[in-house]
Each structure stands twice: as C-alpha cells, then as structure tokens.
Amino acid sequence: MRDDSRKPGGQGEERRRRPGEDGPPPPARGVRLPWTAVPAHLRLAVETHLGDRVTEAVTQPGGFSPGVAARLRLAGGGRAFVKAVGPEPNPISPGMHRSEARVAAALPATAPAPRLLASFDEDDWVVLLFEDVVGRQPAQPWVPAELDLVLGVMAGLAESLTPAPVAVPSAAERLGEDYRGWRLLAAGPDGLGMDGPDAAWARRHLDRLAELEAVWEAAAEGDTLAHADLRADNLLLTADGEVVVVDWPWACLSTRWFDLLHMLPSVTMQGGPQPAEVFDGHPVAAKADGDAVTAVLAAVTGFFLQRGHLPPPPGLPTLRAFQLAQGRVALAWLRQRTGWR
C-alpha cells in the first residue's frame, strides 16, 4: 500500500458505522495489466520455469501492485500464480518485486505464505512465480469470525517469526524515509489540510506530534520479522480455515506488535472494531511499552495523513484515498492514547 501497507457494541459500534455514512471505504486496487502485457519471450520463460504451457490467465483485481497479478492454469492441469511488473506505469514497483522475491525465497516452510517457485529479472521486468493458493480475501466489511481467525494467526506469526528467520533491514532502515509525516507537515506551508475535531487537535499539537514521531525508530526496535503492510487485501482465507499472508516486499525487523498496530486502522476503516479494542487485548501487545506504542502509532499516523494528501502515484489511483482514510482512524486512536487536550 505504500508508494511502490470485535467486540461489538458501545463506542466502537458507532465508529464502525462511519465508513458507511461517508460512503464505502476506498478500494485497495491498482491498475492491473493483463497477462498478455508481459513480453512474449518472458511469457515463454514462465512456461519454461513451470515446465508446461499456460492455457489460461485470470487477473486478480485486489491489491495495490500496478502490474500483472494472475492465476495461471497449465495444459497439464497444474496451476501457479504470477506477479510481473515492468518500468511502466510505476518505476518504483520493480524494486518492490525484487525485494519480495528475496524475502519469499527465504521464508521458512512453516510460514503461512505462498511458496516461491521461481523469480527472474530481465529487460527491466521482474517476474515472480508462486504456488497458487485457492482462497479469498476476508469479507468486507469485516466479519467478526474471520477477524478473530486473522488475529489468531497474527499471534502465531509473531511467535514463529521471532527471532526473524530472514535477513531483512530493520524497520528504521526500511521505513525511516517514509515515517516523517508529522515533521513534513509541521515544516510545510499547508499544515494538515483536514477538517474536524481530530484535525483541529492535531493542528494544536503539530510540533509536539513531530517530536513524538522522531523517536519511533528506537521504539520499534525488535527481532521479529514483520510483514509491515498487513491489510485485508494481503490476506487469503482458504476453505479449510487457514490464513495465508501474501505480498512481503516491505518485510523488516521490528517489535512483535508492529504488524498489529499497522493493520488495525484499515480494519476499522473497513467496518471492524476500534483499534484500541483489539490492540489492548491482543497477546502480542500484552507486554508492549505504552510510550513505544504511542510513538510508533504517531509515525504510522503521520505517514498515512501526509501521504494521503499527495497526488496518486502512477497506476495506483485509489492509494491516497486509502491512506487518508486509515490516517483518520489512526489519528483518533493517537488522540486517545496521548490524552493531550
């Protein structure tokens, strides 16, 4: 989702109605290219890697990658999933695919992620071939039982991926240039550019939020392999009740609770409960340092709000609206956590 991320009743119930009141949340959707957009010699290379001829390619619409994402059916009955991107329309995307290939190749077999079959980089195109997972994205708005299933898997992930089994950058190295939103807003001529009580609160505390954000890197230090971009569109639910986590290009070292914190604004935006309802009762947050959580939340909020007001990147027309919607949820949570007047 970058430029290239339960309990009913009470106050949380009213918050869940807000997306519907203001219209549906923006979709997580880039401009997909068809399988035929891949140069012919690279399509032939895909068939060579798979050892069979592709007879059908069905584009999958969800997700922010502005390239090819298709389920392939092979002549002999086999299946695979292909992700491929060239330098157009978004020149940042090939680098993300290269990063994903490195992470996917090193994930342990026990990780709930698709197995990487092959990857290659040729003529400015990056192609990744995965095992095909028969599943669907979680229902929107969130169904409580499906959210509980996902939250349970996240607890297991934090346990099984600590210490990290893959050599990846730290969260500070991976995201340090992105998580400067409040500092950019404080230094810019236009400020926050939003209306409403939460926005007015943020404007009153803009310099203070910039200072809080500045300590997020130390607050996020940890030895857990974090996905760093978990949302409904990066999850697949299978018929036998498994949760498969896809799209790992932003993986980094961080705290056990980093993925949970980062995901919850999107859950609320898409009809789920309030972030605090879930975070405060989740096992990965049981021993979290409160000040560290607030600092990282400040950085995530600033990222969403600052990026949400920028023009859409090429091939990602809904990205900014999606980020801004998450930012509004995160801002309300941040205001609650700080207790600032």
104-125 pLDDT, tens per residue? 999 999 999 999 999 999 999 9
pLDDT value of position 276: 98
Listed in order, the ranges of the chain carrying CATH 3.30.200.20 are 35-130
Distance CA 27, CA 270 (A): 10
Class of the domain covering 35-130: alpha beta
Q: State yes or no: pLDDT of 34 exceeds 80.
A: yes
pLDDT tens, position by position, 71-108: 999 999 999 999 999 988 888 899 999 999 999 999 99
CATH topology of domain 135-338: Aminoglycoside 3'-phosphotransferase; Chain: A, domain 2 (3.90.1200)
Residue written as tokens 């607050």?
A: 219
Listed in order, the ranges of the chain carrying CATH 3.90.1200 are 135-338
pLDDT value of position 17: 36
Average pLDDT over residues 242-254: 97
pLDDT value of position 22: 59
Strands 79-85 and 116-122: unpaired
Whether the Cβ atoms of residue 276 and residue 333 lie closer than 8 Å to each other: yes
Q: State yes or no: pLDDT of 21 exceeds 80.
A: no
Q: State yes or no: pLDDT of 2 exceeds 60.
A: no
Q: State yes or no: pLDDT of 15 exceeds 80.
A: no
pLDDT value of position 41: 97
**How large a percentage of the chain has pLDDT more than 90?**
84
CB atoms within 10 A of CB 149: 17
In this structure, what are the phi and psi dihedrals at residue 141, rounded to the nearest 5 degrees?
A: -65, 165
Find the radius of gyration of the CA atoms of the chain. 20
Q: State yes or no: pLDDT of 62 exceeds 90.
A: no
Least confident residue range of 6-20, 127-141, 263-277, 280-294: 6-20
The average confidence (pLDDT) of the chain is 92
pLDDT value of position 265: 98
Q: If you ran DSSP here, which 8-state letter would residue 283 be given?
A: G
Average pLDDT over residues 265-282: 98
Query: What's the half-sphere exposure (Cβ side, CA atoms, 13 Å) at 244?
Result: 20
Confidence of residue 192 (pLDDT cuts 50, 70, 90): confident
The DSSP H or E segment spanning 324 is helix 319-338
Q: Based on DSSP, count helices (H) and strands (E) in the chain, helices before strands.
A: 13, 9
Cα 337–339–341 angle (5° rounding)? Answer: 140
Whether the Cβ atoms of residue 220 and residue 254 lie closer than 8 Å to each other: yes
Average pLDDT over residues 197-214: 96
Average pLDDT over residues 251-269: 98
Q: Would you say the C-alpha torsion 47, 52, 58, 64 has a positive or negative sign? A: negative
Q: Read off the pTM.
A: 0.91
